[in-house]
Amino acid sequence: AQHKRYSIATIPGDGIGKEVIPVGQRAAEAVAAKHGFALEWTRFDWSCERYEKTGRMMPEDGIEQVKAHDAIYLGAVGWPGVPDHVSLWGLLIPLRRELDQYANVRPVRLLRGVSSPLANRRPEEIDFIVVRENVEGEYSEIGGRLYRGTADEVAVQEAVFTRRGVDRIMDYAFTLARGRKRKHVASATKSNGIVHTMPFWDERFEAAKKRFPDVETAQYHIDILTAHFVQHPDWFDVVVGSNLFGDILSDLGPAVAGSIGIAPAANINPEGAYPSMFEPVHGSAPDIAGQGIANPVAAVWTAAMMLDHLGEVQAARTLEEAIEISLERPQSRTRDLGGTADTKASEAAILDAIHSL
């Protein structure tokens, strides 16, 4: 039979992005060979380095160039000397918005061999997914400032919640929960203080419950929800939040599961009208870039999310299992996890584990 082939646009970006993305590619290649499919990679040098040479993070037709691929695999962008809003608004935000990647998905799982900053937690007690609305909500450009520099100075920023936008992120979260063992969705709200958009969010959550009667639910105000993440991480299965609340929860979540060096993320266009984009949670880490000591696990786990999205579910599971096997051995853990391994040693342990499975 003809092997399935997937074409992947890779954007390693800056700093350790360029060190960990190739590791993720080699690990994905190893499971592809095992599970009988092929990956074709096209590399794009879009980065702050490119910005400094050309004045643009990506070419003008950049979005068109990546549209033709099945998925995008991105390291991190950002580098000292280039303001962070340039790398964000010149690359990440246009990709997420123009490719309609409206669901930002971050799994939070305590892996075997990793210790949580929360005391005495076992892996089965921390296993949930944060789903963040990724294209509307509080992060809007509508608003303005008046009377600058005077005692009457005013700043106004509008939040935008649409029925279509809220319903589709609810559908994504509930569908995800339906495919999991616990089938539970918790919604982040603040309808006691934010009296227009958040009651609307709650109404659309109620409507979603009726569409998914088999899924259990809970609803918390964002303030107490952050406390529950720390005190009761075992309560959560799928957590859905607006752009702002989801942003906060999706950094807090990976923090309770150990190091930022292991946390994966995806920007999903669930309809498949455009390619989805997979990127580790961490940035370019200028403080350790070039030393060969970055933890490649986040990039490898991110590659597993990409394979899962492409429909190669078994290959994704193999990759995740290989990561956990590698982390069980202290000498294969990088320094951010309290080990001594460099990037190469961590990669070697992951590849060994893949071959052993």
Task: List interacting residues with Mg ion (CB under 5 A).
Answer: 247, 251
Instruction: Decide if 66 contacts 95 (C-beta within 8 A).
Output: yes
Closer of 218 and 256 to Mg ion (Cβ) = 256
CB of 336 to ligand NAI, least distance (A): 4
Q: Is residue 170 close enough to count as binding ligand NAI by CB under 6 A?
A: no
Q: Is residue 279 close enough to count as binding ligand NAI by CB under 6 A?
A: yes
Sorted by sequence, the CB contacts under 8 Å of residue 309 that are 6+ apart come out as: 71, 266, 268, 276, 278
- Within 139-158, the residues that bind ligand NAI by CB under 6 A are none
Q: CA triplet 298, 302, 305: central angle to 5 degrees?
A: 145
Q: Is residue 300 close enough to count as binding ligand NAI by CB under 6 A?
A: no
Pattern 243-262, ligand NAI, x by CB under 6 A:
-----------------xx-
> Taking contact as CB under 6 A, which single stretch among the options 34-42, 201-209, 234-242, 278-286 is the one that binds ligand NAI?
278-286
CB of 254 to Mg ion, least distance (A): 10
Q: Is residue 288 close enough to count as binding ligand NAI by CB under 6 A?
A: yes
Closer of 305 and 327 to Mg ion (Cβ) = 305
Closer of 194 and 255 to ligand NAI (Cβ) = 255
Q: Which of 116, 217, 276, 284 binds ligand NAI (CB under 6 A)?
A: 284
* Interface residue list for ligand NAI (CB under 6 A): 16, 20, 76-79, 84, 92, 260-261, 279, 282-288, 294-295, 298, 336
